[in-house]
Amino acid sequence: MIIAVASGKGGTGKTSVAVNMAVSVGNVKLLDCDVEEPNAHLLLHPEISRKEPVYTFIPKINKALCNFCGECAKFCQFNAILAIAEEILVFPELCHSCGGCAIVCPRKAITWEKHGVGTLHFGEANNVSLVYGELKVSKPLAVPVIKAVKRHINEAKTVLLDSPPGTSCPFVETVKGSDFCLLVTEPTPFGLHDLKIAVEVLRKLAVPFGVIVNRADIGEKKLYDYCREKNIRIMLEIPYQRRIAELYSLGVPFSLEMPEWKEKFQALYSEIRSLAGK
């Protein structure tokens, strides 16, 4: 079973939810897809067993074969290739490695070369297998690293995906193909605004979902009105509680120190399995 933990707004506590569910259920694989700022390892403190580079492939122009016709540049919708006079320039940061430029090249002058974009880290802690991706500084495209992380989904285990914030391409790449998505939000105007966008995206992707309200006893009630109006299930509420905040600040999953929360996350997991028919 694949469960994505996501949010529209950043800072709602999705990583905390993902990690606490992972350690409560046990024997799961946690994939941290927030590759621009992975932080699940800061709560799990795993022993990293290995690292693996992530590459994309960018076009390499053979100047001996190229006649500078510019067909490759015309084709590239991302403007990763520029044809000027007797020169072809490639901008790796814009390339999406689609391969179309090599297909349209009449002289077969385009081959491929590796371009490093990030690193995967593998570790174990608290009966949880962790894989997290880390996008290389200055690289703008997170999706290739997220795809590399998701290649380590283990069908024999329950898999939790910790999604990046927002609702753009990294969010879509993470949650697509999931059996269920938990949307972590907060009862504030910003939380509600971004939740609405996330709900719209998930409905277009046909991924079933439910909501977790973090810091549930602050803010306003418009979030609850919206969920009731749209028939969205609120599956768990986490209070704004000093003890939880203290444990978080120490890098400790609060369900390890508060047994009642371990039971709540186990019950949440059972409810998700039931809703997803697993």
pLDDT at 232: 96
pLDDT at 277: 79
pLDDT at 86: 86
- pLDDT by position in tens, the chain (length 278): 999 999 988 889 999 999 999 999 989 999 999 999 999 999 999 999 999 999 999 999 999 999 999 999 999 999 999 998 889 999 999 999 999 999 999 999 999 999 999 999 999 998 999 999 999 998 989 999 999 999 999 888 899 999 999 999 999 999 999 999 999 999 999 999 999 999 999 999 999 999 999 999 887 899 999 999 999 999 999 999 999 999 999 999 999 999 999 999 999 999 999 988 77
Number of Cβ within 10 Å of residue 274's Cβ equals 9
pLDDT at 219: 78
The CA distance from 198 to 178, in Å, is 15
Q: Structural domains in the chain?
A: 2-54+118-276 (3.40.50.300), 63-108 (3.30.70.20)
Would you state the structure tokens that stand for residue 253, as one six-digit string? Answer: 């999953």
pLDDT at 276: 83
Q: pLDDT digits over 5-63, tens only?
A: 999 888 899 999 999 999 999 899 999 999 999 999 999 999 999 999 999 999 999 99
- Return all residues near 198 (Cβ < 8 A) that are at least 6 apart: 6, 7, 8, 167, 171, 183
* Sequence-distant contacts of 200-206: CB under 8 A, at least 24 apart: 201/167, 201/171, 201/172, 202/175, 205/172, 205/175, 205/176
